[in-house]
Structure 1
Amino acid sequence: MNIPRCEVCGLVMTRYGYTSRGTQRWRCRACGVSRVGRIDNTAKLLERFLKWLTSGELQKNMPGAGRTFRRKNERLWQLWPFCPVVDEVHPVVFVDGLHLGRQAVVLIACTNEHVLGWYVARSENSRAWGALMSRIAPPDVVVTDGSGGFEKARRQHWPDTSVQRCVFHVFMNLTTATTRHPRLPASQELRQLALALLKAKTPQSARQWIRDYMDWLRRWEAFLAQRTATPNGTLEYTHARLVKARNSTNKILADKRLFTFLDDEWDITMPSTNNRIEGAINAPLRQMLRDHRGMSLTRRIKAIFWWCYMHSPNPLPPAQLLKTFPTDSDIENTYHHARQHHQTATSIPQWGDAIVWAEIHHTTPYTNRWD
């Protein structure tokens, strides 16, 4: 049995009879303070809360349509789960952003086994990506879909890490330009190149694909250079979607990031796509948000944070989580304390990103874009 300690002097208390309801009373012999021993079941409630959040269980199927469940777990929504610092070097890290409409995006980094880090921001930019990368040891290869601001952050935080552009995303970019049933001869040939890209799994097939693509560029150079006059008198590319696909593919090839997974320097088989994070991370997260739809933006962000933390390498037990993670009040006090002591600073140190507090909890008639 756990014997309580005095809240005043910290000494062990002794039994001091019972209350009228039969509850054990305790008393400190040193200072005379008495108290009633109560069992703290918050850890059990948190365990039940996380089990519900990461499953498809619906509140409407609970006793009382979930009213008791919501009342007991209201205080647990105050916790903010944050990602730990990852010192272990992994050979491959997958990164991607999960957008919550146009209001926020959660940047996630993972391996084949665990989620390594997560970060919430207004948009995918170098500042947000840098905050995520700074807490993770640089891997050998990072697989990305080429999100905005990622390359700038990588050069700063992971300068020696090789980049593999997701081949499937490149394929989809080409498909967007050509459509699935193209009519123009140039689009038909580019469509065939896009399909062949998914089958380029060896160095020989990769080199052949690059040669075929270069032949396509030379053959349709004049066709892609055609321009059309607009009503306001400016000239625009007649086949703008094909030109956009050409430019993006040329940049990827120039940076040598399309077939990084086929380099000879790797001792293991490197992935060519971002399917791991799309299928094993983003898909379950979207399903969780659908199962528990109707939550506010803050709670959707926290739900994603909790899911990522429970799939991190070494999640703590619920009792330890209650002592480790800060609450909304803790973050608000830290924010106001920093604002009072850094009036002349250009930015205010705070938990997470400004989106968490300034954008969600501070409503003004003026636009405030920290990112």
Structure 2
Amino acid sequence: MDNMKCPSCGGPMKRNGRAPSGAQRWRCRSCGASATHSNDVAARELAAFVGWLLSRGTQADMPGRGRTFRRRAALFWPMWPMPEVMDEVFRVVYVDGIWIARDCVVLIACSDEHVLSWHLARAETTAAWRSLLSRIAPPDMVVTDGGSGFASAVAAEWPRTRVQRCVFHAFCQVKRHTTSRPKLQAGVELYALAGELLHVETLQQADWWVERFMQWCEFWSDFLEQKSLVEGRMAYTHRRLREARSGLVRLVNAGTLFTYLDPALCAEGPMPATNNRIEGGVNSQLREVLRSHRGLTKLKRVKAVFWWCYLHVECPKTMADTLREMPTDADVDLLRERYGMRAEDASRPEKWGEGLVWEELHHKTRYPFRNE
């Protein structure tokens, strides 16, 4: 039965004798191209490995309690699925970081439909954010939860991109200081003002909110200046309220609270005010993957996040292409060797994300020192 398709034109092929190795040879009925069919077992096993990694399945439910699966999976754990440069321009890009451990975070950028890029770092520093942003074409607006180092990074890499601070995170920042049931009248009023951020829909409402917030700051200024003796030192009595006020003042002064209402940005349609797209569409699913495989080492948890992101880009490569093109731990070690940056322990991802080694996997050239 002729079921082989021509790799050149896609037309049907017919059997055409055998190759010297004994493999069946096929010939295209349309263009005359000749080819042999190969059964890519490695690609099929990689697909099975990734399917398990991103599912809730357990090895205990597999035949032989997963012994065969673990032997085959050992071939794929060293792989690093890396993002490509994204030169398509989007109206909105959402950015956030998901923490794997205290000193290990994966920074992620996505659009309304797909994951765009990701970057492994030790902390949310300016250099780490710049490594992520430099691989993505500057959008019209970027939505962020206000992570440390991001403001400097976006000013350096995307100077013309407008920044929208997620209003829900701004509300939560106030809530952390006042609690949801504040006891002081100043806290009650500030908490109510922060809650109104979630319902601002016009520029007039935004201006009215800023005016009311300034009135609150002026009315309670003397109250917030009160000090008391704490452990032998004079300290502000209402420190938490002052911190909540300072956070909102910085956002108002920076002009990032109501960017989504800018008429120039909204000309082609409404813009988002929150980071819900990446929180619900990416981070929550990644946490579910990590929760389902919570026995993995830190390095393997990082790679699980990488695999999820890699399979949710707009056009992920086939498993066969992934096997051929993606770097491995050996490639990373080669880069360390070449640049003289040896790690004390190759299983410590906190050593990565800094210096030239990891930058080579994230920046301009496409794995120039890959070990063939």
Shorter-normalised TM range: 0.7 to 0.9
Judged with a 3 Å threshold, the aligned counterparts in structure 2 of structure 1 residues 229 and 282 are, in CA distance, closer, same or farther, namely same
Deviation at 1:116, TM superposition (A): 0.5
Asked if 2 retains the 8 angstrom alpha-carbon contact of 1:335 and 1:348, the reply is no
Asked if 2 retains the 8 angstrom alpha-carbon contact of 1:165 and 1:273, the reply is yes
- Structure 1 distance, partners of 2:222, 2:291, is 48
Deviations 1:7-41 (A, max 9, x none): xxxxxx96378xxxxxx8xxxxxxxxxxxx99551
Deviations 1:92-126 (A, max 9, x none): 00000101130301000001100001001111000
> 1:44-63 alignment to 2 at 5 Å?
44-63=44-63
Deviation at 1:229, TM superposition (A): 2.7
- Cross-structure match for 2:104: 104
Count of matched residue pairs: 318
- Structure 1 distance, partners of 2:40, 2:270, is 50
- Structure 2 distance, partners of 1:353, 1:129, is 15
- Cross-structure match for 2:142: 142
Normalised to the residue count of structure 1, the TM-score between the two structures is 0.82
Asked if 2 retains the 8 angstrom alpha-carbon contact of 1:117 and 1:132, the reply is yes
Asked if 1 retains the 8 angstrom alpha-carbon contact of 2:167 and 2:274, the reply is yes
- Cross-structure match for 2:14: none
- Cross-structure match for 2:237: 238
- Cross-structure match for 1:214: 214
- Structure 2 distance, partners of 1:16, 1:296, is 43
> 1:122-133 alignment to 2 at 5 Å?
122-133=122-133
Deviations 1:142-169 (A, max 9, x none): 0001100001111110111100000000
Deviation at 1:334, TM superposition (A): 2.1
Asked if 2 retains the 8 angstrom alpha-carbon contact of 1:170 and 1:249, the reply is yes
**Residue identity in the other structure for 1:240:** R
- Cross-structure match for 2:316: 315
> 1:176-215 alignment to 2 at 5 Å?
176-215=176-215
- Structure 1 distance, partners of 2:21, 2:136, is 52
- Cross-structure match for 1:42: 42
- Cross-structure match for 1:368: none
Deviation at 1:353, TM superposition (A): 8.8
Q: Is 1:327 matched with 2:328?
A: yes
- Cross-structure match for 1:173: 173
> 1:288-299 alignment to 2 at 5 Å?
288-299=289-300
Asked if 2 retains the 8 angstrom alpha-carbon contact of 1:126 and 1:149, the reply is yes
Asked if 2 retains the 8 angstrom alpha-carbon contact of 1:338 and 1:348, the reply is no
- Structure 2 distance, partners of 1:85, 1:16, is 40
- Structure 2 distance, partners of 1:170, 1:330, is 42
**Residue identity in the other structure for 1:350:** V
Partner of 1:248, secondary structure, is helix
Q: Which moved more, 1:48-57 or 1:213-222?
A: 48-57
> 1:234-273 alignment to 2 at 5 Å?
235-266=234-265, 267=267, 268-273=269-274
- Structure 1 distance, partners of 2:228, 2:66, is 61
Asked if 2 retains the 8 angstrom alpha-carbon contact of 1:121 and 1:353, the reply is no
Partner of 2:20, secondary structure, is strand
Deviation at 1:349, TM superposition (A): 2.2
- Cross-structure match for 1:362: none
- Structure 1 distance, partners of 2:117, 2:252, is 29
Asked if 2 retains the 8 angstrom alpha-carbon contact of 1:177 and 1:242, the reply is yes
Q: Is 1:118 matched with 2:123?
A: no
- Structure 2 distance, partners of 1:323, 1:242, is 56
- Cross-structure match for 1:229: 229
Deviation at 1:49, TM superposition (A): 1.2
Partner of 2:117, secondary structure, is strand
Deviation at 1:246, TM superposition (A): 0.8
**Residue identity in the other structure for 2:20:** R
Partner of 1:80, secondary structure, is coil
Q: Is 1:277 matched with 2:278?
A: yes
- Structure 2 distance, partners of 1:184, 1:322, is 61
**Residue identity in the other structure for 1:67:** R
Asked if 1 retains the 8 angstrom alpha-carbon contact of 2:226 and 2:236, the reply is yes
| RMSD, aligned CA | 2.1
Deviation at 1:279, TM superposition (A): 0.3
> 1:78-93 alignment to 2 at 5 Å?
78-93=78-93
Partner of 1:299, secondary structure, is helix
- Structure 1 distance, partners of 2:192, 2:107, is 33
Judged with a 3 Å threshold, the aligned counterparts in structure 2 of structure 1 residues 38 and 315 are, in CA distance, closer, same or farther, namely closer
Deviations 1:245-289 (A, max 9, x none): 111111100111100000110222100000110000000000000
- Structure 2 distance, partners of 1:146, 1:245, is 15
Asked if 1 retains the 8 angstrom alpha-carbon contact of 2:101 and 2:298, the reply is no
Gaps of 5+ in 2: 5-17, 24-36, 342-353, 362-372
Q: Which moved more, 1:100-109 or 1:38-47?
A: 38-47
Deviations 1:271-310 (A, max 9, x none): 0000110000000000000111111111111110010010
Deviation at 1:231, TM superposition (A): 2.3
**Residue identity in the other structure for 1:15:** P
**Residue identity in the other structure for 1:57:** G
- Cross-structure match for 2:305: 304
- Cross-structure match for 1:338: 339
Deviation at 1:352, TM superposition (A): 4.9
- Structure 2 distance, partners of 1:320, 1:101, is 31
Asked if 1 retains the 8 angstrom alpha-carbon contact of 2:40 and 2:320, the reply is no
Partner of 1:180, secondary structure, is coil
Asked if 2 retains the 8 angstrom alpha-carbon contact of 1:339 and 1:348, the reply is no
Judged with a 3 Å threshold, the aligned counterparts in structure 2 of structure 1 residues 16 and 90 are, in CA distance, closer, same or farther, namely closer
